[in-house]
Amino acid sequence: MIFFDRVTKVYPDSSVALQNVTFSIEPKEFVSIVGQSGAGKTTILKMLLAEEHPTEGQVFYESTDVHQLNKREINDFRRRIGMVFQDFRLLPDKTVYENIAFTMEASGRPDEEIAADVPHVLELVDLHDKAWNFPNELSGGEKQRVAIARALVNQPDIIVADEPTGNLDPVNTYDVVQILKKINDLGTTVILTTHNKGIIDSLGHRVIAMEKGKIIRDDKEGKYFI
Amino acid sequence: MFWTNVKRIVRTGFFNFWRNGTVSLASVLTMIVTLLVIGFIIMGSAVLKTSLDELRNKVDINITFIPKAAEEDVLSIKHSLETLPEVARVEYTSKEAVLEQFKERHADDQAILAALDELNQNPFGAALNVKAKDPSQYQSVANFLQGKSALPNTGLTIIDQVNYYQNKTAIDKLTSIITAADKLGLVLALAFIILSVITAFNTIRLTIYISRDEIGVMRLVGASTAYIQGPFIVVGMIYGLMAGILTLVILAPITYWLGHITENFFIGFNVFLYYLHNLPQIFLIIILGGLFIGAISSVLAIRKYLKV
């Protein structure tokens, strides 16, 4: 489904973010990418979203090289991926409902569908009573649940979560991981980057460990171990 | 789908304008300054134009003929002058009329009137008053009068005096002042317009800079360029529209107050009456200018953040 073929990324200041990275991800997998800060986890995600271009190598989604897509195709492609960030990245001037609806509007979905799906997905992350609040009126855990709802609402093929629990307390971390597990159980591929040893150990899924831009370990049912 | 998107973009634009109240207020205020500058430049150039036209009208040349000159000869010179492309109009005053005018002017001076009576004949010749289309063209009119074509068949000149030569220095000076004032007015107007448009542009750029992270997020959830850009353009146009309306409202009392001053100072030109009479055009220029500046500034400012 996703295939990184000998991908290298060197920034203009000569710092090497990725070095000859090769791996693939199958549909319905739950893959965690672990490593210290600067190991290259976020760069991998940026490559996948065509936010950054590789210096060498290619990134394939199904049989398409994502860096050969034109602007319109990139937009279509990104709608098939749901993104969750550590800093939530909600639109501050939009309510919870509008934040989620925006993703659907951007995909050109009709109003009736938006009106039906948004409450449903809010129910899923248990935030139906906060629909008309603005992001600054929510707690960190609530914001992250909105972000997950936003990522989910277009029924994407993949959910990419970049350190989604980095700013959360243990209770909220647990909630977020449970939601991600549930999403994966329903058939969506999940890619998670994290520092959190507890999460990795409790998941029992595939773990890719990175260090200084290289993959140093790729275990089918890994533990957090660098 | 197209209309659904347009509806969503416009709705989002209005929401963004309303929810970012402080930023919107600051942008509208800056745009008002820009549009006021444009408004003042419109009025200023009207004042300048009226004053310069008035000055131009004051410049003319008088040709006086010798008393013996026959009326048909004078009229034939008048006719040939009228065929010149530089000449706007020529007024003929017969020798009798010149005498009448002289008597009227000196109605209180019995000595002069008595002296005239003594003469028993009209000592004045007919006169022509020539107005050129532009003050710089009097030289060629004067040259024409010196040339042979202006002379009657007898070959003797019947022209007594052309006052261009007496007034030449004054006419030349006035011509250069008018030309310089015209140019300076245009340069100043352009400079002020450019400066104020840049100010408005920078303000809008700042408002978009505040939203740069959001633009990145919109990109990452797969929103198209038009869908991201649209609401910002709508907001820019709302700034322009609001600022335009407020500018028109503000201009009314300002021009009313300035009206009397300009009326006394600039040869009867009342800037308030000018504002009222030309309101439809000024309305269009200010409102369209506001909408255009708002929209273009948004388009230019947002481009930088759309590269994700």
Cβ <8 Å between A102 and B4: no
pLDDT of residue B149: 52
C-alpha distances in angstroms, A101 versus A162, B82, B159, B221? 22, 76, 90, 11
Q: Which residue has the tokens 């100043």?
A: B188
Find the closest chain B residue to A111 by CA distance.
B4
Question: Residue B207: what pLDDT?
Answer: 85
**CA–CA distances in Å: residue A57 to residues A13, A22, A82, B244:** 20, 9, 24, 54
Candidates B20, B221, B222; nearest CB to A93: B20
- With CA atoms as reference, report the closest residue to A57 among A47, A43, A49: A47
Instruction: Set out the domains of chain B in order of their start, with CATH numbers.
Output: 2-55+175-306 (no CATH), 67-157 (3.30.70.3040)
List of residues 6+ apart from A83 with CB closer than 8 A: A49, A151, A159, A160, A161, A162, B220, B221
How many contacts, defined by CB atoms under 8 Å, are there between A and B? 53
Q: Kindly determine whether residue A49 and residue B220, on different chains, have CB atoms separated by under 8 Å.
A: yes
What's the pLDDT score for residue A221? 76
pLDDT tens-digit series, residues B44-103? 888 888 877 777 777 788 888 888 888 888 888 888 888 888 888 888 888 888 888 888
Question: Do the chains contact at A111 and B223, CB–CB below 8 Å?
Answer: no
Note the pLDDT of residue A38: 86
ipTM of predicted complex? 0.76
The set of residues, in sequence order, having a beta carbon less than 8 Å from that of A219 and lying 6+ positions away, is A206, A207, A209
Which residue in chain B has the smallest CA separation from A50?
A: B308
**Among partner residues A51, A78, A94, which is closest to B221 by beta-carbon distance?**
A78
pLDDT value at position B152? 54
Strands across the sheet with A56-61, in order? A16-25, A2-10, A56-61, A64-65
Within 13 Å of residue B82, how many CA atoms lie on the same side as its CB? 11
Q: pLDDT in tens for each of the 226 residues of chain A?
A: 999 999 999 999 989 999 999 999 999 999 999 988 889 999 999 999 998 999 999 999 999 999 999 988 998 898 899 989 888 999 998 999 999 999 998 888 899 999 999 999 999 888 999 999 999 999 999 999 999 999 999 889 999 999 999 888 888 898 889 999 999 998 999 999 988 888 888 888 999 999 999 999 998 877 766 5
Cα B256 to Cα B244, B252, B272: the distances in Å are 19, 6, 5
Q: Provide the pairing of β-strand B61-65 with B127-132.
A: antiparallel
Q: A123-167 pLDDT, tens per residue?
A: 988 899 999 999 999 999 999 999 999 999 988 999 999 999 988
Which positions 206-265 of B are in contact with A (Cβ < 8 Å)? Answer: 213-214, 216-225, 227
* Weakly modelled stretches of chain B, pLDDT under 70: 147-156, 266-267, 308
* B5 close to A (CB below 8 A): yes
CB B270 within 8 A of CB B259: yes
Nearest CA in chain B to A112: B4
CB contact under 8 A, A83 and B1: no
**What is the pLDDT, as a whole number, of residue B267?**
66
CB < 8 Å to B20, chain A: 93
* Dihedral over Cα of B287, B293, B296, B298: its sign: negative
Determine the pLDDT at residue A101.
93
Asked if the Cβ–Cβ distance from A89 to B213 is below 8 Å, we say yes
Asked if B221 lies within 8 A of A105 by C-beta distance, the reply is: no
Averaged pLDDT of chain A: 91
Interface residue A113 vs chain B (CB under 8 A): no
Q: Choose from A46, A91, A114 for mutation: most chain B CBs within 10 A.
A: A91
Amino acid letter for position A208: I
With CB atoms and an 8 Å threshold, state whether A51 touches B16.
no
Q: Report CB contact under 8 Å: B225, A92.
A: no
What local confidence, expressed as pLDDT, does residue B188 receive?
87
What is the chain A residue with the closest CA to B215?
A91
- Which member of B1, B214, B222 has the closest CB to residue A75? B222
Residue B156 has a pLDDT of 59
Decide if A72 touches B, using CB distance below 8 A: yes
**Minimal Cβ distance to B16: which of A75, A93, A102:** A93
What pLDDT score does B260 carry? 82
pLDDT of residue A220: 82
Residues on chain B touching A91 (C-beta within 8 angstroms): 214, 217-218
Q: Do A111 and B4 touch (CB under 8 A)?
A: yes
Residue of B nearest to A106 (CA): B223
Angle in degrees, CA B97, B101, B106, rounded to 5: 150
